Structure 1
Amino acid sequence: MTTQGETAKPSWQTRAVTALLQASGGRKLLGDPALVHAALEKRDRKVEEVRPPAFLNKAATATREDLGGWPVYRITPTTGPTDVTVVFLHGGGFFREIVRPHWSFVRDLAAAVPAECVVPIYPLVPHGHAAEMVATTAAILARTIEQRGSGKTVVMGNSAGGGLALAATQVLLEQGGPQPDRVVLISPWLDVTMTDPTLPALERDDPFHQIPGLLEIGRLYAGDLDPRDPRVSPLRGHIEGLPPLTVFCGTREMTVADTRTLARRAAAAGTPIDYHEGPALPHNYALMPSPEGRAARKVIVDACRAPHHVSAADPKPSPHNAGR
């Protein structure tokens, strides 16, 4: 993806989606841990079973199996057999359930690659904690790789799901287990300690997030583990030996502090990384119905089709990002 200068102005579509999401009040909620707990209690009073929405039926079939106590949906495009499987882990800060835009992304990805998509519905905080969530995700990923056999498997996640995807891959690496062919991270939350010194400045320009609420959610997610444990904060885990990485992040989100660190560490470790940093773009821009989002999704589709391909520029971030 070609990056532009820092003065680049986002498309009107990105600005409109950002304004709509801002109006939902998520940033205010994340400014106060007490509001986070109130939101969790409200969520738990109206829990409903998660099911793929009906609009998927036009392009794919959805089947369910339970693995490790989790519902896991397998989304198969109606176009026929594929040789690619994508394990997709949704975002939501570990406290919000999978939502319609995630399902839309899965539907479009399945049709475009084409790929079979495996979508685990993991437990949310305070009911789910990193130790069991990462272990179960790793087991689901390993099983998927073994079932795919000679085909290709990609693990992918956005936001909190991106952190979970990387942590599960690291666990498989440490255990000597099977590895996915590529890891795709979209605005991933990689370090719940929120200790990067650039975060206060980034927080002022982030339209969706604030540090106090994220710290509290990170504490809940860590459970009995130290928040610095790589299972909780995979930025602190092993990078050397990982499969090729494709990473997206915008400069108007706090997660960019950690994706820049990940890009530098991957380059130093010799781990191939295709790093895309969107100037003036917000959290999860790669999923937005915008020109920037469509460009990012084209890169994602290409990465899924040829997960072993690494261009000459992949092993290190572009000069635009290297000094950050």
Structure 2
Amino acid sequence: MPSFAASLAGFVLRTTGYYRRMFSGGPQFEQNIAKVRSAPSPAPKAHADVDIRHSEFQGRSVWHLAPKDRAPTAHILFWHGGGYVYPATDIHWKFLSRMASVHGWSITAPLYPLAPENTAAHITNWAMDYYTAYLADMGDTAFVMGGDSAGGGLTAALAHMARDAGHNLPASLLLICPWLDLDPAHPDQLKTEPRDGILTINGIAAGGLLYAGDLPRTDPRCSPIFGNWEGLPPILAFAGGDDILVTDSRALKAKLPSVELIELAGMLHDWPIFSFSESRKAQAKMANFVTPAVV
């Protein structure tokens, strides 16, 4: 059973509809996107034991978070979620700051272009440009690539593209409640939707079309589940039973049994980046998974 805090959060989010309104779909969806993005985008906040730096790549912000006064335990290239239409949130920055502070990660988090102004072809090309620049900066230093939700989908798509282009690959991949199939057509998603406090089927269907643009939704750049998953580094994935995207993680496990999938019943979308007791255990699991891969 989920902890009281996790259950309460799911109940409150379902009741208030705070996030579900952001992912509602329908004719007002793009208006909701514009309204949310009209507010100043959150950024990492000053932290006593985390060094925070900002840079730019092709006119886009890139944030760097690393522990102060000690060598990092791992280097992480992280792609944030947000349905490909929303920027990183305070929840993302709190999660990344904690991973830097508690687990010693040195994290690079690029703020990639968003839909509907940009679509999958451009966004994945931009991300691949950044990936190759990151490789050049890292030299022989091992790193891990990961992301949550849409960022998990982008992580997977980039890993496929990097492998196909003959680039060096990350030591491992972290997929946190990843969005791997833009088409929410799985029958189990209808059963899960009433329990999902963050996403709706109409919302991810609409967001998926905005992101895909002229590409078919089955293109692996849009829906990496349809890509070739052979020859990739080890993968740790997380999923929640009250998340309509849980079917994507299950499909990945069925397609690639070597994936280590941690699915918890009753947990909401993106639960590993929150502050529940289950989240803290998941974060420790990430750290334990990542460190042997890069040392």
Normalising by structure 2, what TM-score?
0.92
Match of 2:5 among 9, 13, 25: 13
Distance in 2, Cα, partners of 1:19 & 1:84:
35
Distance in 2, Cα, partners of 1:204 & 1:83:
40
Question: What is the match of residue 237 of structure 2?
Answer: 247
Distance in 2, Cα, partners of 1:62 & 1:174:
33
Question: What is the match of residue 225 of structure 1?
Answer: 215
The structural deviation recorded for 1:61 is 1.8
Tell me, which stretches of 5 or more residues in structure 2 are unaligned? none
Match of 1:113 among 103, 108, 113: 103
Instruction: Give the 5 Å matches for 1:96-245.
Output: 96-245=86-235
SS in structure 2 opposite 1:34?
A: coil
Question: What is the match of residue 20 of structure 2?
Answer: 27
Give a deviation string over 1:120-166, Cα, whole Å, max 9, x none. Answer: 11222212211121122223233323433333211111111111111
The count of residues paired between Structure 1 and Structure 2 equals: 294
Distance in 2, Cα, partners of 1:306 & 1:135:
30
Question: What is the match of residue 313 of structure 1?
Answer: none
Distance in 1, Cα, partners of 2:5 & 2:41:
32
Distance in 2, Cα, partners of 1:250 & 1:83:
27
Tell me, which stretches of 5 or more residues in structure 1 are unaligned? 1-8, 310-324
The structural deviation recorded for 1:186 is 0.6
AA matched with 1:51: A
Match of 2:61 among 45, 61, 71: 71
The structural deviation recorded for 1:31 is 4.0
The structural deviation recorded for 1:66 is 1.6
Worse-matched range after superposition: 86-95 or 179-188: 86-95
Question: What is the match of residue 315 of structure 1?
Answer: none
SS in structure 2 opposite 1:111?
A: helix
Question: What is the match of residue 272 of structure 2?
Answer: 286
| Percent identity (aligned) | 27
The structural deviation recorded for 1:29 is 5.0
Question: What is the match of residue 51 of structure 1?
Answer: 43
Alpha-carbon spacing, 1:12–1:131, altered in 2? closer, same or farther (3 Å): same
AA matched with 1:301: A
Normalising by structure 1, what TM-score?
0.84
Distance in 1, Cα, partners of 2:264 & 2:73:
31
AA matched with 1:273: V
Worse-matched range after superposition: 274-283 or 129-138: 129-138
Query: Over the residues paired in the alignment, what is the CA RMSD in angstroms?
Result: 2.0
Distance in 2, Cα, partners of 1:28 & 1:97:
16
Distance in 1, Cα, partners of 2:241 & 2:41:
36
The structural deviation recorded for 1:83 is 5.6
1:42 matches 2:35? yes
Distance in 2, Cα, partners of 1:300 & 1:50:
25
Question: Is the 2:182–2:205 Cα contact (8 Å) retained in structure 1?
Answer: yes
